[in-house]
Chain A
Amino acid sequence: MTTSNNESSRKLTANVKAAGCAAKISSLELKQVLSSIPRTQCPELLTSLENFEDAAVYKITEDIAIIETVDFFPPVVDDPFLFGRIAAVNALSDVYAMGGKPVIALNVLCFPTCDYPLSVVEEILKGGQAACAEAGVTVAGGHSIQGPEPVFGLAVTGVINPKSILTNGGAKNGDVLVLTKPLGTGVMLLGLKGDTLSQIERKQLLDSLTLLNKQALEIANKYHPSAATDITGFGLIGHTTEMALASGLAAYLYIDELPFFACAVALASQGLVPAGAYANRNTFSSSVINLEHIEIAIQDLLFDPQTSGGLMFALQEEQAVRLLAELTAEGLTASIIGGFVEGKAGQVEVKK
């Protein structure tokens, strides 16, 4: 390879094949593998594997349950501190997506110490620590190994009252969907890697990637959401399908209401589409109605794997309108993007 021998000059993303949540194993492959693994019955486990929840919830008492989740991925940016911060924000998000409060976290680290100076590891961990500190989470330890490609993330423990859990399966007929971050991070990260983003576009992307979903959840909890998830590796369509399936309802999405990053459509139309988007298309396109009427670039963005994506809440329309107003007033990007109706469970209709 032509990689420079000068360790400090080597880019963190140099060897990375798929960045962030685009590195996820496809949902189809995962289902195939998991189907052969025997399940243990556990009455205290409040989440079911079938519903593709964001995290596992284990009941301790009638009032206390713990939330467990782990998330890690290869570098999405060359700045190690920023990478650490984004990976941690992304990992913490799964606890917020269940409606909980993260309390402690463990670092999960794989790192080729021959290829990069140790100061790079230090920066990654500092970035992770910074995100945890902002979230009020204590980093209590971790585990690190050598490997060919850097990987970082967190195992996070959160707490929740079992009655307040927000699962994928709680959505009601007539609920609408509120999304709290812009869409298109997979495409935008390719643009960032290819150095095709302007300073403004770069800033918008990084601001979104490093934004904790903490505040969005705290605000949303006032408006009694019936279901929640975070939009990550399976893309908007994947996570909407999962929520619809788990809730036994059909979903619809308003294409014109989707909050894409300003240049994401242009980048996607020029072929900056991550492999994960094609994998998500293979997995989920059969559950989508009217997809063929949508421009290809928009289709790609519907399947685009999101890293550190926003929360998506299902709730009654009048509550959603008030939630939207409060989120927007707090400076968060928020939109009502669709909703649920009676129909074939797991079906998603895209509407102009």
Chain B
Amino acid sequence: MSTDKKQDSANSLDLRGLMCPEPVLRTKKLLDQKPEGAVEVLVDSDINVMNLTRLANSLGLSLHSKEKDGGYMVVISKKNESEAGRIPHNHDVSQTASASGQKASSQKSANTSVVFIAKDTFGEGDRDFSVNLLNVFLQTILQAGHKPQAILLANTGVRLMDPDSSVRKVLDEFKEAGIEVLACGLCVEFYGLKEKIKAEQITNMYAICEYLFSADKVISP
């Protein structure tokens, strides 16, 4: 998708007058476009602020809000440099962002799992069949409601992120369900897919190792 130029240069949005869930979805879209910088949004109600607090928490970002013009100005930004690495140790819900006044649970969810895919087929066999099988495998994980912490793609596995790949759609569905889908940067570079994959979904071997070693279970098809 082509990026809107005007939005690209702006870090703020006026979301007043919009009904739920638009303020959250538009803020998320802006954050997706701005992996580095802080964003500012103007919203109507404290309900919007509480929902944005949850969004910020889920992304490991910090949130500050103050009343402004009968609404609320909300600033969402990175917590600090050491937490910037998209590494699972920062998965806990942030305390700084609890504008709603609730204490976040510090317990890590039990039995974390990650899915590690290092080739673009499910086993060896007929090529088309094996790609389809991988698609079915991922669909089934989603349908069954399993919640891996992340799906990690390496070597030819990164080809699944190609917009032309039949598997891309289900990977996007995982992303929408709040599950990280991350591709190995070296591999993306090697297979010439850098232009086709969002920067925020490209990671490095260090982060991949952190995911693999901190998970209770690693599933590799």
A binding-site residues for B, Cβ under 8 Å:
16-18, 190-191, 193-194, 196, 198, 200, 262-263, 265-275, 278, 292-297, 299-300
Binds A, one of B6-14, B173-181, B198-206: B173-181
Inter-subunit contact A198/B173 (CB<8 Å): yes
B165 in the interface, Cβ–Cβ < 8 Å?
Answer: no
- B82: chain A residues within 8 A (beta carbon): none
Closest 3 CB pairs of A and B: A262-B145, A266-B178, A271-B51
Complex alpha-carbon distance, A297 and B145, angstroms: 16
- B20: chain A residues within 8 A (beta carbon): 17-18, 190, 193, 272, 274-275
A-B contact pairs, 5 of them (CB 8 A): A200-B143, A262-B144, A271-B21, A295-B93, A296-B93
Complex alpha-carbon distance, A296 and B102, angstroms: 8
Complex alpha-carbon distance, A191 and B28, angstroms: 14
Also in contact, A196 and B105, with CB within 8 A (given A269-B58, A271-B58, A295-B93): no
Minimum distance in angstroms from A54 CB to a CB of chain B: 27
Inter-subunit contact A262/B24 (CB<8 Å): no
Complex alpha-carbon distance, A89 and B98, angstroms: 38
B47 in the interface, Cβ–Cβ < 8 Å?
Answer: yes
B57 in the interface, Cβ–Cβ < 8 Å?
Answer: yes
Inter-subunit contact A271/B53 (CB<8 Å): yes
Inter-subunit contact B57/A263 (CB<8 Å): no
Inter-subunit contact B54/A296 (CB<8 Å): yes
Measured CB to CB, the nearest residue on chain A to B28 is A270
Measured CB to CB, the nearest residue on chain B to A198 is B173
Also in contact, A269 and B57, with CB within 8 A (given A200-B143, A262-B142, A275-B20): yes
Complex alpha-carbon distance, A188 and B23, angstroms: 16
Minimum distance in angstroms from A291 CB to a CB of chain B: 9
Number of B interface residues in the complex (CB < 8 A): 34
Inter-subunit contact B178/A269 (CB<8 Å): yes
Q: What does the 1/0 interface line of B109-122 toward A look like (CB < 8 Å)?
A: 10000000000000
Also in contact, A296 and B104, with CB within 8 A (given A196-B176, A200-B143): yes
- B54: chain A residues within 8 A (beta carbon): 268-271, 273, 296-297, 300
Also in contact, A294 and B105, with CB within 8 A (given A16-B19, A262-B145): yes
Complex alpha-carbon distance, A269 and B54, angstroms: 6
Complex alpha-carbon distance, A190 and B21, angstroms: 6
Minimum distance in angstroms from B159 CB to a CB of chain A: 22
Partner of A193, one of B21, B109, B144: B21
Interface residues of B in 11-70 (CB under 8 A from A): 19-22, 24-25, 28, 45, 47, 50-55, 57-58
Complex alpha-carbon distance, A194 and B176, angstroms: 12
Which of A275, A299, A300 lies at the interface centre, i.e. has the most chain B CB atoms within 10 A of its CB? A275
Partner of A270, one of B47, B55, B142, B143: B55
Minimum distance in angstroms from A28 CB to a CB of chain B: 16
B89 in the interface, Cβ–Cβ < 8 Å?
Answer: no
Measured CB to CB, the nearest residue on chain A to B139 is A200
Measured CB to CB, the nearest residue on chain B to A200 is B143
Partner of B51, one of A193, A273, A292: A273
- A268: chain B residues within 8 A (beta carbon): 54
Inter-subunit contact A194/B22 (CB<8 Å): yes
Inter-subunit contact A270/B178 (CB<8 Å): yes
Inter-subunit contact B105/A270 (CB<8 Å): no
Complex alpha-carbon distance, A268 and B145, angstroms: 15
- B47: chain A residues within 8 A (beta carbon): 275, 278
- A191: chain B residues within 8 A (beta carbon): 21
Complex alpha-carbon distance, A296 and B51, angstroms: 11
Complex alpha-carbon distance, A18 and B47, angstroms: 12
Given A16-B19, A194-B25, A278-B47, 18 other A-B contacts at CB below 8 A?
A17-B20, A194-B21, A196-B176, A263-B177, A265-B147, A266-B147, A267-B177, A268-B54, A269-B54, A270-B24, A270-B178, A271-B58, A273-B50, A274-B20, A293-B105, A293-B107, A296-B105, A299-B102
Measured CB to CB, the nearest residue on chain A to B104 is A296
Inter-subunit contact B19/A270 (CB<8 Å): no
B103 in the interface, Cβ–Cβ < 8 Å?
Answer: yes
Complex alpha-carbon distance, A295 and B103, angstroms: 9
Q: What does the 1/0 interface line of B147-173 toward A look like (CB < 8 Å)?
A: 100000000000000000000000001
